[in-house]
Amino acid sequence: MTTGGTAALVRRPDGSTRATLLELLFDVVFVASLALTSTLLAEVHNWSGAAMVLLMLTAIWWTWSVTSTTTEFYDPQQRPIQTILMVAMVGSVGMAASLPMVSDGHAMVFAISYVATHVIRGIILVTTLYRQRHRAAMVRAARFFFWFVVSGVFWITGAVSGTVNWALWTIAITIDLLSAAARYPTPWLGRVPFDQYERTTAHLGERYQQFVILALGDIILVPTLQVSRGPLAGLRVAALFCAFAIMLLLWQVYVFRAGELLEAAAGPKSGRPARVAPYTHLVMLVGVVATAASFDRVVSRPTGTTPVGWLLLILGGPALFVIGRALFTLLVSMLVPWRRMLCLPLPLLTLPWAGRWPPLLVTTVVALTLAAHILIPGAARETTPGLRLRQSDD
């Protein structure tokens, strides 16, 4: 590693945009956390429990997002960045392992795993960049570091009694999300300049696509584990195949021009995709986790009536994924295929009767709706590479 007055730690604009093997391993560790989150969500029976799971999922996602931004701005082949990735993996394992026990006196494990991941990253970056005398990059890292220290106070304080103080944890995650949206305004250092968002490369788009594809695998992984614990009955297997179909359909929803939108980060107006991707992909991720949780329930009992909580997961999971995908398109290109979106509310028309239907039938209706969403021609005006508008065919 170079430690003299060079920019060795900062990724060169002409450097490789391919994800390293360590980054891919980092993704796999986080996907395991998502599987545990889906299982936990399937077991909650009230709104407060679902909100707690959502808060912890947001913390897990934010760790992945910020760490992936780190490997976008800094060279992942350098030892300090590899150390940051390995620390993030350890942190994700700690968060995942403590998920089922957060309410049983192990909240501090989750809090320390989250806070330590971000604080250690900040210390490594600031000290290394200071030695390299790369002031602009050091100031950027210091802004991130400052705000994670601020939120870390609330994370740790909210767990210090052993019982989670959800109000303090809500403040903590809100600080993390809003400080990033505001470009980390820091005393004496100001905000992250827009041009630093605009220097992102196709690497960041590739990282998001890889993670979403891996996350979608949870939709089949979670119910498969559930099926393996019981009898291999015909309707349970049918529910498993329905989960597989919905996973493939959501994949189709995501990859529709996903490369063009995310790789627009390499263009001259790349700041917007880099800034909105963490938030819109969080919506998609919640949809994936809810969908996986719904099939955890459906394969356990595909017949009988469908409880309200199950309906919310079965209908809401895929809907959130599609909404998150549409929001990303809207915020990046200001265009949405509205004709496709018209299919989204169709399952809601079944609500007066769906509660009396078997869960397998409800999931089949959702699968047919997603198929219609994909097969119906999109809006006449779509995006092309570079986010230029294609002329209307109408």
Beta partners for residue 189, in sequence order: none
User: Per the domain annotation, does 393 fall within a domain?
Assistant: no
Q: Write down which residue in 136, 166, 192 finishes a domain.
A: 192
User: Per the domain annotation, does 13 fall within a domain?
Assistant: no
CB distance 314 to 306 below 8 Å = yes
- Same domain? 174 vs 237: no
Distance CA 64, CA 215 (A): 12
Tokens of 157: 């304080």
- Same domain? 187 vs 239: no
* 3-state class (DSSP) for residue 325: helix
Residues 6+ away with beta carbon under 8 Å from 298: 223, 239, 242, 243, 310, 314, 359, 360, 363
Q: Write down which residue in 192, 225, 248 finishes a domain.
A: 192
Distance CA 12, CA 78 (A): 12
Continuous H helices in the chain = 21-43, 47-73, 79-98, 107-132, 135-157, 166-181, 194-197, 202-216, 218-228, 234-255, 258-262, 271-298, 308-333, 338-341, 351-354, 359-375
The pLDDT tens digits for 25-35 are 888 888 888 88
CA angle 88–93–96, rounded 5-degree value: 120
Q: How many domains does the chain have?
A: 2
CB distance 147 to 184 below 8 Å = yes
- Same domain? 32 vs 98: yes
* 3-state class (DSSP) for residue 389: strand
* 3-state class (DSSP) for residue 33: helix
Residue 386 confidence (pLDDT): 30
Residue 4 confidence (pLDDT): 39
Mean pLDDT by 10 residues, the chain (394 residues): 52 72 87 89 89 94 93 89 94 89 85 97 95 90 96 96 90 96 94 78 81 91 86 85 94 72 50 84 96 94 92 93 88 72 75 86 92 68 34 34
- Same domain? 188 vs 212: no
- Same domain? 208 vs 151: no
User: Per the domain annotation, does 11 fall within a domain?
Assistant: no
- Same domain? 175 vs 224: no
CB distance 363 to 242 below 8 Å = yes
383: part of which helix (H) or strand (E)?
A: strand 383-384
Which domain covers residue 278, as residue numbers?
Answer: 203-380
User: Per the domain annotation, does 197 fall within a domain?
Assistant: no
User: Per the domain annotation, does 70 fall within a domain?
Assistant: yes
Q: Write down which residue in 171, 192, 213 finishes a domain.
A: 192
Residue 340 confidence (pLDDT): 67
Residue 7 confidence (pLDDT): 47
Residue 66 confidence (pLDDT): 95
Residue 392 confidence (pLDDT): 33
Distance CA 28, CA 59 (A): 17
Residues 6+ away with beta carbon under 8 Å from 151: 115, 172, 173, 175, 176, 179
- Same domain? 287 vs 182: no
The pLDDT tens digits for 54-103 are 999 999 999 999 999 998 889 888 999 999 999 999 999 899 888 888 87
